[in-house]
Structure 1
Amino acid sequence: MLFQNENLIVRSLNEADKFFLEKWLSDPSILEFYEGRDHPFDIDKVTDVFYDSEDDVVKCMVEYEGTEIGYIQFYQLDDVTKKEYGYLNENVYGTDQFIGEKANWNKGLGTLLVSSMLNYLVKRKQAERVVMDPQVRNSRAIKCYEKCGFKKIRILPKHELHEGKYQDCWLMEYKKLK
């Protein structure tokens, strides 16, 4: 387990989590903003992307009250991305997440998850900044991130290829208080 906050647990992925990821990432309402409805996942794609990839992304399952409800990942920004975003010699992390169980939408769990991850990254990883890049049209996620203390920094034009079209994204930042 990476951390727990109230009834929320974030832990490393295990083998059984493949089936949750396959379910969530084949659901058009999840794919609308995460990966794209034109790229649903099957078990082989889940295995390839979440289990067989050799990257520096920490991939985690989110549980609430003992039930798997979503996914979160975090990573330290590489030098190329830091330069692109305008950061120099800082410890900057990025994160991506979704609540996969729609019955848990609009209950404040996204806010609890993001704020808990911020706390973890700042305290345990000494992150000075945490960034996200949601699509401009993803107003629900942006509202959640703003509740957690993220600020819109600038538009990243045509930043993400999504459903065959390049989408503008917000560079959003949480800056550690000194």
Structure 2
Amino acid sequence: MIILGDNEINIRQLRPADASLLLKWLSDPRVLEYYEGRDHPHDMALVQKHFYENREGVTSCIIQYKGKEIGYIQFYLIDEEEKEEYGYEEFDGKIYGMDQFIGEVEYWNQGIGSLMIKETLSYLIANREAKKIVMDPQTWNTRALRVYEKNGFIKKKLLEKHEWHEGELRDCWLMEYEENKVET
């Protein structure tokens, strides 16, 4: 099922047959440097565990660019524990989290990530009633930070030693996009 599409970018729900794509992407050290870590290549069992098991509440999708599968994106309502950790205990509206990567490295640095983020934000606001969308990229990932800021995300909070990556706990930024706060 296509969740959203604009002819160039389509985002469709993850299918069982997509496991081979995830395996390809998550065994590529160039992708793993930014997503999961080069010391954590996936085999098929790990792909099944991380992307197909116990996924209630998570919308897992494949990103297509001009008809070719190039990456992965997921979004989900953040839970009470995350609301507390991120400082949103008092916020009443829906807050979605999202994570994504482009697994086909020849599509990096072409503006496709920005296009995908913009389309997903529009979808979450219009179809899921999101009032805020949050992400927690690692602080050293300047390319991702630039894409997110370009699309209206702002750094809200430094999350120290937040994510295990390549043998150490790394700092991340809590980044937030708020509906009606960004001029387009």
The TM-score with structure 1 as length reference comes to 0.97
Shift of 1:5: 2.1
Query: Are 1:110 and 2:113 counterparts?
Result: yes
Equivalent residue number for residue 129 of structure 2 = 126
Segments of 5+ residues of structure 2 without an aligned counterpart are: none
Amino acid in the other structure paired with 1:177: N
Going from structure 1 to structure 2, the CA distance change for 1:139 and 1:121 (only over 3 Å counts) comes to same
Equivalent residue number for residue 28 of structure 1 = 29
CA distance in 1, matches of 2:40, 2:112: 26
Cα deviation digits, residues 137-164 of structure 1 (max 9, x gap): 0000000001110001121000111111
Query: Are 1:154 and 2:165 counterparts?
Result: no
CA distance in 1, matches of 2:158, 2:53: 32
Q: Give the secondary structure class of the aligned counterpart of 1:16.
A: helix
Equivalent residue number for residue 17 of structure 2 = 16
Q: What are the equivalent positions in structure 2 for 1:60-99 lying under 5 Å apart?
A: 60-87=61-88, 88=90, 89-99=92-102
Segments of 5+ residues of structure 1 without an aligned counterpart are: none
Identity of matched residues, % = 49
Cα deviation digits, residues 21-54 of structure 1 (max 9, x gap): 0000001111112111111011121112111224
CA distance in 2, matches of 1:54, 1:155: 27
CA distance in 2, matches of 1:68, 1:153: 32
Q: Give the secondary structure class of the aligned counterpart of 1:2.
A: strand
Equivalent residue number for residue 175 of structure 1 = 178
Count of paired positions:
178
CA distance in 1, matches of 2:71, 2:101: 6
Superposition RMSD in Å = 1.1
Shift of 1:90: 2.3
Amino acid in the other structure paired with 1:85: Y
Equivalent residue number for residue 44 of structure 1 = 45
